[in-house]
Amino acid sequence: MLNLQLPTDPRWVGIAEMQIEDILVDHAYCEQKAASSCISLIIRYNDLDELVDTLTPIVAEEWGHFERVMEQLRKRGMRFGKQRKDEYVAKLYDLVRKGGSRKDQLTEGLLMNALIEARSCERFKLLSKNIEDEELRKFYYELMISEAGHYVTFIDLARKYQDPEKVNKRWKEWLEFEAEVMKNMELRGDRMH
C-alpha cells in the first residue's frame, strides 16, 4: 500500500530499540516538522479552500502526536534533547524541482510530505511489531494508522490540484529518488529515518 521501493534494513529496528531515547527525541521533532510543514502549506496556499480545510485538522493531529511522544519521554525519565540535523529530509529537499508553476510547486510539496509520511509509517510498523516495550508497541501501532491516513490525504490533494496522470508520473520518480536516498544513508539507530 505504501509503494516504497526499498524496505528498511531489518537490522534498523534492533539498533533503534537499544537507543529508544534518541528515537523518541528524534520522533518528537518529526511530529513538530510534520505540523510545521502543514502550517507552511496552509499559509502559502491560503486561497485553496479544500487544502486549507483538509490540512488544518492535520496540524492539530500532528501536534497531538508531538504531545504524546513527549509524554512517553517524560514518563521514562528521558530528556528532550536538541534537534539533530535531518539528513533524510535535507536529501529529499535536494530533489524538489525548483521553478515551474505554483501548481507544480504545490505538487512537489505534497508529494514530499506524502513520502515522509509513508516512510514514517513503515518505520512505526516495524517498531510496533518488534520492540519489547508493550506500551510503545501499541503507541507506534496507533501512529502508524494515523500517518497512513495522512499519506493518502497528501496524495489525494496532489491529484486534486494537478492533472492526476502528471502526479502519478512524478510520484513514481519520487519513490525511486527516495529509495536511492535510503540506500545511501548510513544505518543508524538514533533516528527515525
Sites of contact with Fe ion (CB under 5 A): 31, 34, 62, 65, 117, 147, 150
Angstrom distance (rounded) from CA 30 to CA 42: 18
Instruction: Name which of 123 and 150 has its Cβ closer to Fe ion.
Output: 150
Which DSSP category does 96 fall into? S
Angle at 136 between CA 135 and CA 138, to 5 degrees: 70
For residues 102 and 100, give the distance between their C-alpha atoms in angstroms, rounded to a whole number: 7
Cell numbers standing for residue 107 = 505538487
We find the least distance from the C-beta atom of residue 70 to Fe ion, in angstroms, to be 13
Binning the chain into helix, strand and coil, the percentages to the nearest 5 are 75, 0, 25
Closer to Fe ion by Cβ: residue 65 or 119: 65
Instruction: Tell me how far, at minimum, the Cβ of 165 lies from Fe ion, in Å.
Output: 26
We find the least distance from the C-beta atom of residue 15 to Fe ion, in angstroms, to be 23
- Residue with smaller CB distance to Fe ion, 58 or 166: 58
Q: Closest separation between CB of residue 68 and Fe ion, Å?
A: 9
Q: Which is nearer to Fe ion, 14 or 118 (CB)?
A: 118
